[in-house]
Structure formats: structure tokens, C-alpha cells
Amino acid sequence: IGCLGTYFTHAGYLIEPNVFMADADVSYRPDPDEVAEIVLVPLSALQNKANYHLVPRGGGRANFNFRWSHIQVGGPTVSLMIHLMHSLSGVLNPHDRNSWRDKF
């Protein structure tokens, strides 16, 4: 479907997430050095604001965490999930928090 742009992690890694459609019976072969687990999450769960939580990190900083069913997602992955939800909601600038506050 398309690329969500580029994302640089705090550790200096570059991630270029792509959104695609796949058949239900597709077989994934993740690199075990990079992927701990593949979890299929319904779009409705990703869209539910109640599944996202701010976790204090000290020094006035906090990071988002996503919790649903038996899974918990944090770090760059949850940031990419939030970016995807902003993109799907029609937000033009995901970096402008005021533009998406009421949408997501």
C-alpha cells in the first residue's frame, strides 16, 4: 500500500515501515535476531485509545506502551503503530500533536 516514511530510533537504527496487504494464509519467515514474535492485532484494537498508555521514564520523560490481550508492545514498534493510526485517521502532520489530539 505504501511506505510510512523513515524512522530513526534513539539507538541510531533506521526503520522504513511499509504497509501491505497479504493473503490470510501467507507464511512469514522472520529473522530471529530481529523479530521476537509475529502477532496479528485487529485494526479495532490498534484504533482503541484505551490500549495505549504513557509510561514514565524519569526526568519528565515518558514513552507509549500498547497493551492488548496477552501482548505488550513498546519502543519503536509502538511509535510506528501510533504513526500508522495517525496516517489512517487523515492527519496531515503526525508531528503536530494539536492536529491529532481529538482524532486519536
Q: Which positions of the chain have pLDDT values less than 50?
A: 92, 94, 100, 103-104
Domain range list for the chain: 2-100
Instruction: For residue 73, give the nearest of 42, 43, 37, 27 by alpha carbon.
Output: 37
Helix (H, G, I), strand (E, B) or coil at 97: helix
Question: What letter would DSSP give residue 54?
Answer: E
Tell me the pLDDT tens digit for each residue of 28-49. Answer: 899 999 888 888 899 999 999 9
CA 45 – CA 50 distance, rounded (Å): 9
C-alpha cell at 5: 516514511
Instruction: For residue 82, give the nearest of 50, 47, 54, 55 by alpha carbon.
Output: 47
Q: What is the pTM of this model?
A: 0.75
